[in-house]
């Protein structure tokens, strides 16, 4: 009898936990907050124009105390948008970062160089948990007093409670769940012991060799 009860409990958990995870994933991933005035506004690269549109709006509404809009990462489209639609706004750019972790490094280095302590980071809500995680995992000397507030870009396809009803939202959530694990291992473990760059190099070489075989 006890064995049957244990089997039933295990079966219920094996089915129930994934279901609970699935239906609550949107709430877990979305950690965006209402904007508060900060030293600078940061628009992360990639994504769609909603990020730069929201960042520009926040700038115009006076949320950047130092009158700086920092475009980081894959920002060519964002730069073009600013030059075309917001030429009067002051912005600086760092195109070097190739992923979110590198973007956080770039943001912290820029803030340290200019003595800034607070930043609003504009990104998609599905991306916000990973950004928040990386602001904690990625560290540079002197970043202890830095504070980051992540602001929703305002994409129409996201609903934290019903993300799974939209194909884009569903794909974004599943992708972010996997990337959270990857980033935790990469920046929380490998980067701390100095192995992250080595692993990245190995992965890139493996992919290149695999492509040649095709």
What domain range is 180 assigned to?
Answer: 29-202
Please indicate, yes or no, if residue 214 is contained in any of the structural domains.
Answer: no
Rounded distance between C-alpha atoms, residue 52 and residue 46, angstroms: 10
Tens of pLDDT, residue by residue over 182-199, are: 999 999 999 989 888 888
Please indicate, yes or no, if residue 24 is contained in any of the structural domains.
Answer: no
Please indicate, yes or no, if residue 122 is contained in any of the structural domains.
Answer: yes
Tens of pLDDT, residue by residue over 39-82, are: 999 999 987 899 999 999 999 999 999 999 999 999 999 999 99
Please indicate, yes or no, if residue 11 is contained in any of the structural domains.
Answer: no
CATH number at residue 156: 3.40.50.620
Number of structural domains the chain divides into: 1
Please indicate, yes or no, if residue 7 is contained in any of the structural domains.
Answer: no
Please indicate, yes or no, if residue 42 is contained in any of the structural domains.
Answer: yes
Tens of pLDDT, residue by residue over 79-94, are: 999 999 899 888 999 9
Please indicate, yes or no, if residue 12 is contained in any of the structural domains.
Answer: no
Please indicate, yes or no, if residue 184 is contained in any of the structural domains.
Answer: yes
Task: Find, among 186, 125, 134, the residue nearest to 161 by Cα.
Answer: 125
Task: Please tell me the pTM assigned to this model.
Answer: 0.88
Which residue has tokens 């190739």? 98
Question: Residue 101 CB: number of other CB atoms within 10 A?
Answer: 21
């Amino acid at each position: 009898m006890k064995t049957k009860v244990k089997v039933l409990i295990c079966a219920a958990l094996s089915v129930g936990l994934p279901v609970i995870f699935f239906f609550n994933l949107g709430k877990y991933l979305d950690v965006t907050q209402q904007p508060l005035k900060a030293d600078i506004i940061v628009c992360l690269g990639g994504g769609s124009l909603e990020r730069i549109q929201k960042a520009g709006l926040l700038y115009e509404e006076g949320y950047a105390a130092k009158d700086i809009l920092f475009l980081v990462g894959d920002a060519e489209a964002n730069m073009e948008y600013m030059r075309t639609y917001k030429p009067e706004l002051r912005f600086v750019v760092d195109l070097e970062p190739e992923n979110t972790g590198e973007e956080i490094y770039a943001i912290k280095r820029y803030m340290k160089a200019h003595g800034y302590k607070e930043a609003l980071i504009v990104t998609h809500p599905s991306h916000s948990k990973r950004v928040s995680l990386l602001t904690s995992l990625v560290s540079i000397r002197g970043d202890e007093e830095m504070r980051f507030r992540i602001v929703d870009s305002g994409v129409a396809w996201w609903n934290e409670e019903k993300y799974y009803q939209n194909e884009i939202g569903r794909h974004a959530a599943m992708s972010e769940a996997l990337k959270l694990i990857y980033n935790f291992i990469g920046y929380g473990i490998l980067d701390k012991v100095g192995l992250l760059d080595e692993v990245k190099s190995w992965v890139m070489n493996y992919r290149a060799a695999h492509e040649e075989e095709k």
